Structure 1
Amino acid sequence: MSISQEVLGDERGTLLAFVEAQRAALRQAVEGLSEEQAAGRHSASELSLSGLLKHAAQVERNWLRMAQQQPYESTVETHLNGFKLLEGETIPSVLAAWEGISAELAQFVADLPSLDETFPLPPAPWFPENHKVSMRWMLLHLVEEFARHAGHADVIRESLDGTKAMG
C-alpha cells in the first residue's frame, strides 16, 4: 500500500485496504511477463508466479464462501491444481476471476452488521474442531496469506529477471 493511497479511517476500510495492498503486490509480480515466464520455476521452490496468483484467488474465494456459509469445492485435487494454471487458464483469466471475487468480498464486508460476526470453520485436519472465527479474523488472515505469498513472488521474480518489488 503506497503512502499516497487514501485509507478509509474505519476498521473495515483499513482492513480491506491492507488486503488490497497485498493483492496488488502479487499482481505486480507478473507484470510484463509472458505466460511461460510466469508459469516457470525460477527458484528452488515448486511455486510459480501464475500458480501463486491462482492460489490467492482460490483462497480468497474459499474464505468468502466459508464466511457466507455457502458450499465450495475443497479437495486435495483442487488444492494441488490451485497452484498451477490448467488448460484454458491464463493470467488475464485468473486476474479477472480474482477481481470479481475481490469485489464480492468488499461488498460482503460492507454489508456486515459487524466485523464481530462469526462463522464456523469446516471440519478439516488443519482447523480446530467446532471452532468459529470472526469476519475481522478472516480479513486479517487474508492479509497474512497474501503477504506470505507476495514475499514468495518477490523472490521468484527477482530470481527470474532481477526485478525487485521495492525498486
Structure 2
Amino acid sequence: MKTDEMYTAGEKETLHTSLDRHRDAVLWKLQGLDDEQLRRPMTPSGTNLLGLVKHLASVEYAWFVASFGGEVEPLWFDPSTDDDLTVGPDETTRQIIDFYGRARAAADTVITERPLDALGRPDWRDHSVSLRWVLVHMIEETARHAGHMDIVRELIDGATGDHPRAAGTA
C-alpha cells in the first residue's frame, strides 16, 4: 500500500498495514548482525533477537492460522513453553527467519480471506475471538517485541529506530 493510501484506507487495510510495519521493523532489527550477535542473550532472562523472531512466528501461526482452522506447519519445539523464545545450537538463523516468513504468509492468507468479524477459536481458550481482535492483539504483541528488539539491538551495536534512515537524515 502506498503511503498516501495508508492514511485513508478502510479498517482492515489499516490494521493489516500497521501489523506489517511492525513485522518489517522486526526483520530490520536483524540486518547487519552476525549469528553470534543474533543469538546473544542480552537480559538476565536470556532474551535475544532470534528468539524473539521465533516467538513471533509461533504466535502468528497460533492466533491467525490455528485459531481460524488453518494448517500450521509441524513445529520442532513446544510452543506452549518458553521453547519458542529460545534458539538451540541446531537451529539456524535462516531456519528461524524463513519460519517467520512462512508464518507471516499463512497469517496474511487468513487476514485476506476472512472478514474482520470472522470468529476463530484458539484451542487454549474457552471462547471465540474475532479476526479484528486478533489483528489488534498481534499489532500489540509485535510492537511490544519490536520494542524489546530495539533495546537489545542498541545494546549490541548502538543501532536504534524502527526503520532504516535515509542518508543524511536523523
TM-score > 0.5, shorter chain as reference: yes
Partner of 2:18: 18
Deviations 1:109-156 (A, max 9, x none): 2111x2111122324xxx4xx321100000111100001101110111
The alignment yields a C-alpha RMSD, in angstroms, of 2.5
The one-letter code of the counterpart of 1:92 is R
Q: Which runs of 5+ in 2 are unaligned?
A: 163-169
Cα shift at 1:77: 4.1
Q: Is the 8 A contact 1:67 1:135 kept in 2?
A: no
- Aligned equivalent of 1:65: 65
The equivalent of 1:28 in structure 2 is: 28
Structure 1 unaligned regions, length at least 5: none
Residue correspondence of structure 1 range 139-158 to structure 2 within 5 A: 139-158=135-154
* Distance apart, 1:71 and its partner CA: 7.1
The alignment of Structure 1 onto Structure 2 pairs a total of residues equal to: 158
Contact 2:26 2:146 in 1 (8 A): yes
Contact 1:18 1:143 in 2 (8 A): yes
Hey, what's the Cα distance between the residues in 2 that align with 1:137 and 1:37? 35
2:118 corresponds to: 117
Match of 1:85, SS state, is: coil
Give, in angstroms, the shift of residue 84 of structure 1: 1.9
Aligned twin of 2:132: 136
